[in-house]
Each structure stands twice: as C-alpha cells, then as structure tokens.
Copies of this chain bind each other. A is one copy, B any other.
Amino acid sequence: MSRPLTAKGAATRERIVSAAATLVRAQGAQNTGLDDIRASTATSKSQLFHYFPGGRADLLYAVAVHEAALVIADQQPELDRLGPPPSWRAWRETVVRKYREQGRQCPLRSLTSQLADSDPRVGPLVASMVSDWHALLLAGTTRAGATAPDALATSVLAAVQGGAGLLIATGELGYLETAVDLAIAPLVAAA
C-alpha cells in the first residue's frame, strides 16, 4: 500500500475485494481473471491497478485476507463469549451451521492451496489466523477455569479443523459434530 486510502477509496476497495471473493468462491482462483473481476464490479483497469498495484496477485491476496478474517468473524459473537458451559454449546451450534452451509468447499483452503506456492505472504497470513483463533479459544477455556486451558483450546481447534477436513473429504457433517462435541465435553460438563 503506497499511501492511505480515503474512506471512500477504502469502501471502493472493499467492494472490489468482496465481489472478487464471490467470484473466486464460485469458480475457483485459477479460473478468475482480472477481466472477470472488472466486469462484475464495473471498475476500469486503471481503477483496479490503483487499488491493487500488483494486479491479479495483489487482488487474490486481498481476497485471501478477506476470507481469513471471515473464518473468525463467522464464529462471532459466540467465539468472544466463550466461558460458561452454555456458551460452548452456543458456539458449537454456530460453527456447525457455518460448515453445514459451506459444505465441501472451504474458500480459504482452496485459495491458499492455489496461492501458497506463488505468494510468500499467504503462509504467514494463515498462520496468523490460526494463532488468533487459538487465542480466542484459549481466552474461553481460561474463563471456563479449565485446568489445562492451552491444551484444551488446541484440542477444540483441532476438532474443528479435523471435522472440517473430514467434511471436505467425505461430504459428511457428522465427523465435525461428533469431534467438537467430544472436544468441548469437559467444558460443558464443568457446569
């Protein structure tokens, strides 16, 4: 980013990223070119290069940032309220609903698997999203008074990741539901 955007500029940029994210979700990153994005956002080539000086690579990275933020945002506000037993059940419902809607497509995963080789910023972006997510779960297990809050947060995070991976692999949501139920059992039973 060479200089800060005005509020209007930031809004335009966000509108472009959001439309590009929709396109990438529908047709995959490798099949999404700058011309598709220009057409769907009614922006000119010079406008696109104003916001994304590196062109397509810059824009796809911005889409990855957008999708990484959504992974956390889709779990809020329940993720921020974790602590007492009912809060874990409420969060579990939110997570299961999100993956049920999403089905076998994980937008961030398909994007990163395509960009990881070409864009060195993608690896740190995903690692930082994982770290943020773990920190929010850890705040929850700590508020819950768990005896090993860090390990328990890791166990819950891995259950979601693993359940989502098994959903992608098989199309079945049951793995996710069961894995998260068992991972949060000590937090729900603490009542």
- Partner-B contacts on A (CB < 8 A): 28, 109-110, 113, 117, 126-127, 130-131, 151-152, 154-155, 157-166, 169-171, 174-176, 178-179, 181-183
Contact = CB atoms under 8 A, between A and B. Distances in A.
A129 B157 CA distance: 23
B157 A159 contact: no
A169 B110 contact: no
Given A110-B113, A113-B113, A117-B28, A182 B163 contact: no
Looking at A28, A162, A163, A165, the one whose CB has the most chain B CB atoms below 10 A away is A162
Contacts of A131: 170
Nearest to A109: B113
Contacts of A155: 159, 178-179, 182-183
Contacts of A126: 169-170
A65 to B, nearest CB: 15
21 contacts: A110-B113, A127-B169, A130-B166, A151-B181, A154-B174, A154-B175, A154-B179, A155-B179, A157-B162, A157-B175, A158-B158, A158-B162, A158-B165, A158-B166, A158-B176, A159-B159, A159-B162, A159-B179, A162-B163, A182-B183, A183-B183
A163 B127 CA distance: 13
A131 to B, nearest CB: 7
Given A113-B110, A179-B155, A165 B166 contact: no
Nearest to A28: B117
Contacts of A170: 126-127, 130-131
Contacts of A113: 109-110, 113
Contacts of A165: 158, 161-162, 164-165
